[in-house]
A and B are shown apart, each in its own frame.
Chain A
Amino acid sequence: MSEHGGPDPATLSPAETHALATTDLRGALGWLALGAAVLIGALRMDRLEAQNINPYTVPGLLPGLLGIVMMLLGGLLAARSWQRGARLRGLGGVRVDRTVAMRVATVVGLCTVFGAGLVGHGLPFWLAAAIFVSVAIVVLQAPQRAALGRGLTLRDVAVAVAVGLGAGGVITLVFQQIFLVRLP
């Protein structure tokens, strides 16, 4: 069940280790803040005394303990990062390739607009899906084509629209008509 994507500290250069430690230190501060927020939330939670419940079953018990655990582990992460040379000022975190960042931002934007904006807001699902898939294919293929020294042709756009309409139509048909799942 493990996934890729995480840097392996054993294979990093000293500069990369410092950068990772700085990123970890920032992350640790986030964990400390989250842990503190969870603990405060748990302490402020109603103890249901009016209902005369057993005091060992108050709803905030486990969340409070989890808040403390997050703060402890966050503190350990901060201490380890500090020991590995992390400083909040002066050093940047792990550097991200600008092209990759742009690409990720584009995909996140497209998916968010579709998932939170198009779906369930009046547009039929098949149409929303067709618009999303067509636009996503065109937007994602454009930089690849540009890197090869040629722009998108009318044929590329037509193929993207065909794939979009096909995907939207088939998914709607299969889920709604065959498997009787109601779509937004």
Chain B
Amino acid sequence: MLAGLADLGHAYLGFLNFTSISYGLGGALLGIIVGCLPGLSATLCIALLTTLTIKLPANDAILILICSYVGTLYGGSRTAILLNIPGTAANAASCADGYALALRGEAGRAIGIATSGAFMGTLFGVLCLAAFTPVLAEVALSFGAYEFFWLALFGVAMSGTIVGNDPLKGWLMGALGLFVAQIGQEGLYAYDRFTFDWDQLSGGISLIPALVGAFGFAEVLTTLADPVERKLVELKDSVLPRFREVVQYWRTVLRSGVIGVLTGLMPGVGEDSGAWMSYAAAKAASKEKELFGKGSIDGLMAAETGDMASIPGHIIPALALGIPGSAPSAVLMAAMIIHGIQPGPMMMIQHPQFVYEVVAMTSLATVSILIFGLFLVKPLLLVLRIRRTVLMPVIFLLCTVGAYASASRLFDIYCMLVIGIGAFFLRRRGYQMAPFVLGLVLGPLLDKSLRRGLVLSDGSLAPFFSRPISLAFAVVTIFTLLLYVPAFKAAVRWVTGGTGSLLRAVFSRRGAREAGK
């Protein structure tokens, strides 16, 4: 405990220098600009910056990436408030109330609430990151091949279930991601799988070009397919963060922080789930339900706190288990590997100080967004006036450089093009990219764990179900998948409905008895 606090103190001191602060502020500023631009995601921003920072020392590079991650999600709220278009998917929940406030002439107030909600959410998440990552990593040290097999499968299944509105399509995309991850030389015998004797495919499909294609090029196509340029709402009032409202809505802030972190812990679920779940919970608990969607401060605060708290939430499983919580955290994880830091249970043994450095980096990112929320709101809005027809070709140029730069292979540009075009058409048919990306990240782990597990058990499937943690993951994964079967779902409803009415009956009798006394 004390050693942990000392490491945390050292980590904070390590970043209190001009270079680190400049990198942090620069990363956050770039992130806010990217977040402001509709169609550009945090994933794209981090993927491009990964290639740009490849020659920097590991800590500086990861600092820039984390600050840009936090900045992108924060920046996306501006577009949601002023244009009614979410800058990133995570800001969609802020659109209704933020835009309604802007139309009432309170755009500055809405931005101020978004800033204070974002600051509080990230701060709460940072505390959880510091507290829970070492604990989770400690638990994960007892994981073997069986647990990792189920963890990988659980991640893809959960992502497919929760992201989007069609679990079946989500699982199909997860299976596709897992399959694409099998292309190239496999890890045990260096055997070429599905390469068709093409040398370029032996190296497999790299994560960065795939992500740049799925989230960058596909976004360029999506943005240009919709030629409507929306009008920006004028900003007339003060944009200063409203901490008085944080105090007034402290229950919402706390609840949304908890929900944000918990959704962040779920593999591949994404920041938007944190925002939507926090928004729904705030609406359910609010005394002013009728104001939701019409300019509710409570709603905007919940959405912004929830999505920002989920960022540190996503980083926790990425660091402790090597299982990313979202697409941006998958790129962040890939960047850590590129810089020689392998996330996962062994991190607390090989790089014990790194977890605390990440905590310090995320704290710096939190302070950075507060600074930019205080001083640079109006100048940053100029970026929203750039025409998409001018911006998008430049973004595609960056996608090309981003795909190429990590390995200097032209093949990666071709992969980016193919995956981007495929992702665009699949998304238009309701297939989400998040499960695909998670499948791509977890594919090698699933393959290795399955084969290692079978060797250890001499072909028996029993240990996959008999070890306590394996069993827990197996039950949750299979239950999640079975919920799609109508007969099983009806049975679950019947059981939960029956239990619920039994409990209601018990409590109402007890209540009646107490009232009688």
Interface residues of A (CB under 8 A from B): 1-10, 20, 23-24, 27, 31, 34, 38, 41, 45-46, 48, 51, 53-57, 59-63, 66-67, 69-70, 73-74, 76-77, 80, 94, 99-100, 103-104, 107-108, 110-112, 114-116, 119-120, 129, 132-133, 136-137, 140-141, 143-144, 163, 167-168, 171, 174-175, 179-184
A94 to B426, CA, bound (A): 13
Whether B410 contacts A120 by the Cβ 8 Å rule is yes
Whether A66 contacts B390 by the Cβ 8 Å rule is no
Residues of B within 8 A of A94 (CB): 428-429
Residues of A within 8 A of B451 (CB): 56-57, 61-62
A66 to B454, CA, bound (A): 17
Q: From A42, which residue of chain B is reached at the shortest CB distance? A: B193
Q: From A174, which residue of chain B is reached at the shortest CB distance? A: B52
Whether B175 contacts A6 by the Cβ 8 Å rule is no
CB contact between A76 and one of B168, B227, B272 (< 8 Å): that residue:
B168
Nearest CB of A to B468, in Å: 23
Nearest CB of B to A72, in Å: 9
Residues of B within 8 A of A167 (CB): 393-394, 397
Residues of B within 8 A of A163 (CB): 390, 394
B residues 373-409 with Cβ under 8 Å of A?
387, 389-390, 392-394, 396-398, 400-401, 404-405, 408
Whether B52 contacts A115 by the Cβ 8 Å rule is no
Whether B401 contacts A183 by the Cβ 8 Å rule is yes
Whether A129 contacts B397 by the Cβ 8 Å rule is yes
Whether A108 contacts B53 by the Cβ 8 Å rule is no
Whether A104 contacts B164 by the Cβ 8 Å rule is no
Whether A119 contacts B225 by the Cβ 8 Å rule is no
**22 A–B contact pairs at CB < 8 A?**
A3-B41, A3-B89, A4-B89, A5-B427, A5-B428, A6-B166, A9-B166, A23-B429, A27-B429, A38-B194, A56-B459, A61-B454, A62-B446, A70-B175, A70-B176, A94-B429, A111-B217, A137-B393, A140-B393, A179-B52, A181-B55, A183-B404
A173 to B6, CA, bound (A): 42
Q: Does B70 contact A (CB under 8 A)?
A: no
Instruction: Given contacts A5-B427, A54-B455, list 18 more A-B pairs with CB under 8 A.
Output: A1-B271, A5-B222, A6-B166, A6-B169, A6-B432, A9-B166, A59-B186, A61-B451, A61-B454, A62-B182, A103-B224, A107-B221, A116-B413, A116-B414, A136-B393, A140-B392, A179-B54, A181-B54
Q: From A159, which residue of chain B is reached at the shortest CB distance? A: B390
Nearest CB of A to B404, in Å: 6
| Given known A1-B327, A80-B168, A144-B389, contact A184–B410 (CB-CB < 8 A) | yes
| Given known A59-B186, A104-B225, contact A132–B397 (CB-CB < 8 A) | yes
A177 to B434, CA, bound (A): 35
Residues of B within 8 A of A108 (CB): 221, 421
Q: From B405, which residue of chain A is reached at the shortest CB distance? A: A181
Residues of B within 8 A of A24 (CB): 429-430
Whether A63 contacts B164 by the Cβ 8 Å rule is no
**A interface, over-half SS:** helix
| Given known A57-B188, A141-B389, contact A115–B413 (CB-CB < 8 A) | yes
Whether B400 contacts A63 by the Cβ 8 Å rule is no
Residues of B within 8 A of A56 (CB): 451, 454-455, 458-459
Whether B194 contacts A63 by the Cβ 8 Å rule is yes
Nearest CB of B to A34, in Å: 8
Whether A66 contacts B400 by the Cβ 8 Å rule is no
Whether B326 contacts A1 by the Cβ 8 Å rule is yes
Whether A107 contacts B171 by the Cβ 8 Å rule is no
Q: From A37, which residue of chain B is reached at the shortest CB distance? A: B194
Nearest CB of B to A42, in Å: 8
Nearest CB of B to A40, in Å: 11
Nearest CB of B to A167, in Å: 5
Q: Does B370 contact A (CB under 8 A)?
A: no
Q: From B460, which residue of chain A is reached at the shortest CB distance? A: A56
Whether B166 contacts A70 by the Cβ 8 Å rule is no
Whether A48 contacts B434 by the Cβ 8 Å rule is no
CB contact between B165 and one of A9, A54, A74, A183 (< 8 Å): that residue:
A9
CB contact between A2 and one of B52, B163, B447 (< 8 Å): that residue:
B163
Interface centre among A20, A38, A63 (most CB of B within 10 A): A63
Whether A119 contacts B427 by the Cβ 8 Å rule is no
| Given known A1-B268, A70-B172, A100-B225, contact A115–B401 (CB-CB < 8 A) | no
Q: Does B416 contact A (CB under 8 A)?
A: yes
Residues of B within 8 A of A181 (CB): 51-52, 54-55, 401, 405
Residues of A within 8 A of B273 (CB): 2
CB contact between A144 and one of B159, B227, B408, B424 (< 8 Å): that residue:
B227
A74 to B175, CA, bound (A): 11
Q: Does B83 contact A (CB under 8 A)?
A: no
Residues of B within 8 A of A60 (CB): 193
Q: Does B471 contact A (CB under 8 A)?
A: no
Whether B221 contacts A38 by the Cβ 8 Å rule is no
| Given known A6-B431, A9-B165, A76-B168, contact A179–B175 (CB-CB < 8 A) | no
Q: Does B365 contact A (CB under 8 A)?
A: no
CB contact between B416 and one of A4, A115, A168 (< 8 Å): that residue:
A115
Q: From A77, which residue of chain B is reached at the shortest CB distance? A: B168
| Given known A100-B225, A179-B55, contact A8–B193 (CB-CB < 8 A) | no
A143 to B240, CA, bound (A): 41
A60 to B408, CA, bound (A): 30
Q: From A183, which residue of chain B is reached at the shortest CB distance? A: B401
Residues of A within 8 A of B178 (CB): 62, 66
Q: From B223, which residue of chain A is reached at the shortest CB distance? A: A107
Residues of A within 8 A of B165 (CB): 6, 8-10
Residues of B within 8 A of A120 (CB): 410, 413
Whether A48 contacts B389 by the Cβ 8 Å rule is no
Q: From B268, which residue of chain A is reached at the shortest CB distance? A: A1
Nearest CB of B to A139, in Å: 9
Nearest CB of A to B177, in Å: 10
Residues of A within 8 A of B268 (CB): 1
Q: From B458, which residue of chain A is reached at the shortest CB distance? A: A56
Whether A66 contacts B182 by the Cβ 8 Å rule is yes
| Given known A6-B431, A179-B52, contact A69–B189 (CB-CB < 8 A) | no
Residues of A within 8 A of B396 (CB): 111, 114, 132, 136
Whether A6 contacts B89 by the Cβ 8 Å rule is no
CB contact between A66 and one of B54, B169, B179 (< 8 Å): that residue:
B179
A9 to B429, CA, bound (A): 11
